[in-house]
Amino acid sequence: MHALIQAIILGILTGGVYALMASGQTLIFGVMKVVNLAQGALVVLGAYLTYSLFTSLGIDPFLSILITTPILFAVGVGVQWVLLRPLHGDDIGQLSLLVTFAVALGLEGALSFVYGATLTNVQPTYANFSWTVLGYQISLVRLVAFVLSLVMLGVLYLILQRTKFGRSVRATVQNPMSAQLLGVNSQRVSALGFGLGAATAAAAGSVFGMLNSFNPGSHYDLISRLLTIVVLGGLGSIGGSVVAALVMGVGSSVVSALASPIWSDFTFFIVLLLVLLIRPRGLFGAKTRGSL
Amino acid sequence: MKRMITRAGLIRAGVFFALLIIVPILGGPVWLLNLLIFTVMYAALSSSWNLLGGLAGYPSLGHVAFFGIGAYAFALTFSGSVGDGYSPFLVLPVIGIAVGLLSLPIGWVSMRTRADVFAIVTITFLFITQTLAFNLTKITGGAQGASVAAPPFDPATYDWPFYYAMIVLLAIAMGISFYFSRSKIGLSLSTVRADEDKAHGVGVRVTAVKLIAFAVSAGMVAMVGGVWAYYIGFIYPQFAVDPLITIGMVLMAFLGGRGTLWGPVLGSFILVPAQQFFAQSFGASQLYLLAYAAVFLVIMLFLPRGILPSISDRLRRRRAAALGAARDAEAHTADAVTPEEVKA
């Protein structure tokens, strides 16, 4: 029982971080109908940026988010503007999917070139600090990461609900054509939306770098989990992806504690299979695809 | 669009395969044969992928899973002894059919989704297979890998049997692709690609044809995987179920032209040598990944429909332009004639 509750606590805290990564991906899908296979690579890029800032300049990993977020935002805008915007034709969905895969490969190649393929992680002095509450361990980094993810999700929510940009994004998600007729510059919204989605990878990357050992190839692990979360939550639903991330976080952590860590990834895939069998559009997926 | 057996088509296929067959006999250098084995392998993989991804419009990103399953099936069957070395090739069809059957439930589940989601689901299937290959250590040997017994081939012509096996598989894959394009199956698949709901509405048996395409394509890929395992001799999960192989298949079909007979072949004969060149000139550094990604992006941005469709499009446009010019000229003479008629 103790192990189970400990696993659930751990799962919720981890799930929060996944929620942050997945919400970025969902936002990108919602705005542009692009499944961003580079989201995992962007998270790894964020982790390496944090690593560099920490080891060479001694900047605290949590503080470095303030620096990495604008960088990843710029990367996201750049990818959209240079590589995705020129695509056109009938199967633009397939093409953009493959383009984001190419971006992931390119990032992996560039990161391997700069940092090599050995596993590293970001180890601030408080990395292994944890509290014991009622006999349960709560690690400082995980708790701060969880809270930080909630804050970032809150900011994302406010941006979408309360700003003019957010209104244009939601309008574009609902009906790109009408939005454009009403004066929304859809190219700009797409670019900013992609940038915003990529920017969530900065915070997620810093945290990921503190919690896990990683190398440039780690994005494959990440993207397979993220895709499961996004499909489970229903493509395009940010709320859905948050719930799905928490479900998956708890699920895999429980399996890892009660069975074996090597099978924890498998819970993701089993859940995905069940979702497809029972409800292919996901938990919160709207009937018409891509509502936010 | 029933495709006819034309003399030009037969000659093209005949010359192509004759050239492939003759290379080792003429005694090309070892590196050339080695390069050709991988080129033909990718041509066969890409042509098989094309049966589903090109003809039916279901872009599977998980086909390397079947490649890995075929490779492991072969390695586990022949870990002890391969006899005279030739009999294992005869077991390949069994592996192909078994994997084809195994793929049916997978295809059925994953093809409940379409386009983007289908791509996601199949890529997840790739990761499932890779995790299994790593974790089922009792069967696959996990990260330690699995080995195939070495065949007693003459060292001078050691590569030949693998090379010819790959050629046979390519011929079969192209044969199936050609057969599909001439048959009701191919017609049904192209209606699925164009508009699946309407196709279903007018009575096309969409699920059946999709499953046929999925199973045939998976079985073919598995057989190629078997030959690959035999040739390599030692397989590891990260190489047998490598996302780069999946991307290779997709990219080559995209480059040459999806849904065409020769597109995947053309794509492979351009990209595999290029890939080897990158790997050689950038050595062990990961820069070749970067170069690969760059080629990938260039293809997607500048040749999104592939080489063959772009060329045939241009030809058709030129022909249409010529026709249009002729018609204009005709109309002009007709105009010129009318006043005279009026006068008369």
Q: Which residues of B touch A228 (CB under 8 A)?
A: 124
Interface residue B143 vs chain A (CB under 8 A): no
- According to the model, what pLDDT value does residue A286 have? 53
| Chain B touched by A102 (CB under 8 Å) | yes
Lowest-pLDDT range of A77-81, B223-227, B292-296: B292-296
Mean pLDDT over B74-86 rounds to 80
What is the overall mean pLDDT for chain A? 80
Report the range out of A246-250, B174-178, B187-191, B320-324 with the highest average pLDDT: B174-178
- DSSP letter at A82 equals I
For an interface test with A, give the residue of B55, B129, B297 to mutate (most A CBs within 10 A).
B297
Q: Going by C-beta distance under 8 Å and a sequence separation of 6 or more, which residues neighbour residue B209?
A: B56, B185, B188, B189, B192
- Which range, A47-56, B163-172, B186-195, has the best average confidence (pLDDT)? B163-172
- Closest residue in chain A to residue B120, using alpha carbons only: A227
Q: Which residues of B touch A262 (CB under 8 A)?
A: 134-135
Task: Report the residue from B110, B116, B290 with minimal CB separation from A109.
Answer: B290
Per-residue pLDDT band for B101 (boundaries 50, 70, 90) equals very high
Asked if the C-beta of A273 comes within 8 angstroms of chain B's C-beta atoms, the answer is yes
pLDDT(B299) > 50: yes
Burial of B310 (0-12, 13-18, 19+ CB in 10 A): middle
pLDDT for residue A205 is more than 90:
no
Least Cα separation, residue B14 to chain A (angstroms): 34
The chain B residue lying nearest A276, using CA atoms, is B109
Pairing label, strands A136-139, B146-147:
unpaired
pLDDT digit string (tens) for A208-218? 888 888 888 88
Cβ-defined contact of A102 to B300 (cutoff 8 Å): yes
The reply to whether A269 touches chain B by the CB within 8 Å rule is yes
- Residue B119: pLDDT band with limits 50, 70, 90: confident
**pLDDT score of B333:** 63
Q: Considering only CA atoms, which of A232, A226, A164, A224 is closest in space to residue A197?
A: A226
A247's enclosing H/E stretch is helix A238-258
ipTM of the prediction: 0.75
Per-residue confidence (pLDDT) for residue B183, from 0 to 100: 87
**Smallest CA–CA distance from A223 into chain B, residue:** B124
Residue type (1 letter), B235: I
The more confident residue out of A135 and B168 is B168
Instruction: Please determine, for residue B129, whether its predicted confidence score (pLDDT) is greater than 80.
Output: yes
Model confidence at A285: pLDDT above 70? no
Helix/strand/coil for A222: helix
Residue B4's pLDDT is what?
66
Which pLDDT belongs to residue A45? Answer: 92
Average pLDDT over residues B184-197: 83
Residue B151 predicted with pLDDT over 70: yes
Contact: B286, A86; criterion CB under 8 Å: no
pLDDT band at residue A288 under the 50/70/90 scheme: very low
C-beta of residue B205 within 8 angstroms of C-beta of residue B27: no
Residues of B in contact with A220 (CB under 8 A): 127, 243
CATH for B7-290 is 1.10.3470
CA distance A241 to B159: 51
| A228: pLDDT strictly greater than 70 | yes
Residue B339's pLDDT band, with cuts at 50, 70 and 90, is very low
Percentage with pLDDT > 70 across chain A: 94
For residue A97, give the nearest of B116, B251, B286 by CB distance: B116
- Average pLDDT of the segment spanning A78-106: 81
Q: Average pLDDT for residues B43-49, to the nearest whole number?
A: 93
Higher pLDDT, A81 or B49: B49
A261 part of contact set with chain B, CB < 8 Å? no
Domain ranges in chain B are: 7-290, 306-344
A87 contacts on B by Cβ (under 8 Å)? 300-301, 304
Please check the confidence at residue B103 and state whether its pLDDT lies above 80.
Answer: yes
A260 pLDDT higher than 80: no
What are the domain boundaries of chain A?
Answer: 2-217
For the segment A89-109, the average pLDDT, to the nearest whole number, is 81
Is B57 in Cβ contact with A108 (below 8 Å)? no
Which own/partner contact pairs does A253-257 have at CB distance under 8 Å and 24+ positions apart? A253/A7, A253/A8, A253/A10, A253/A11, A253/A14, A254/A4, A254/A7, A254/A8, A254/A11, A256/A7, A257/A3, A257/A4, A257/A6, A257/A7, A257/A10
* A48: closest CA of chain B, how far (Å): 16
In this complex, is the C-beta atom of B77 within 8 Å of any C-beta atom belonging to chain A?
Answer: no
Asked if B115 is an interface residue toward chain A (Cβ–Cβ < 8 A), one would say yes
Specify the higher pLDDT residue, B175 or A138.
B175
Mutation target for A interface from B50, B112, B121, B271: give the one with most A CBs within 10 A: B121
- Per-residue pLDDT for A92 more than 50? yes
B3 or A254: which leads in pLDDT: A254
Between B86-100, B188-202, B217-231, the lowest mean confidence (pLDDT) is in B188-202
Mean pLDDT, range A251-280, rounded to an integer: 77
Better-predicted residue by pLDDT, B90 or A287: B90
CA distance A199 to chain B (A): 22
pLDDT tens readout for residues B210-226: 899 999 999 999 999 99
Q: Enumerate the residues of chain B whose CB falls inside 8 A of the CB of residue A231.
A: 117, 120-121
Residue A280, SS3?
Answer: coil
Question: Which residues numbered 31-50 in A keep a CB inside 8 Å of some CB on B?
Answer: 33, 35, 37
A108 and B123 in contact by Cβ < 8 A?
A: no
Residue of B nearest to A106 (CA): B290
Q: Distance of CA A42 to CAs A25, A46, B112, B176, B291, Å?
A: 11, 6, 30, 40, 19
**Residue B65 or B296, more confident:** B65
Per-residue pLDDT for B10 more than 80?
yes
Q: Is residue B309 over pLDDT 70?
A: yes
- Stretch B250-258: mean pLDDT: 86
Q: Which residues pair with A133 in a beta bridge?
A: A136
Q: How confident is the model at residue B344 (pLDDT cuts 50, 70, 90)?
A: very low
Residue A289's pLDDT band, with cuts at 50, 70 and 90, is very low
Of residues B185 and A138, the one with the higher pLDDT is: B185
A99 in reach of chain B (CB within 8 A): yes
Mutation site for A-interface testing, chosen from B55, B127, B138 by largest number of A Cβ within 10 Å = B127
Residue A173: how many CA atoms within 13 Å on its side-chain side? 24
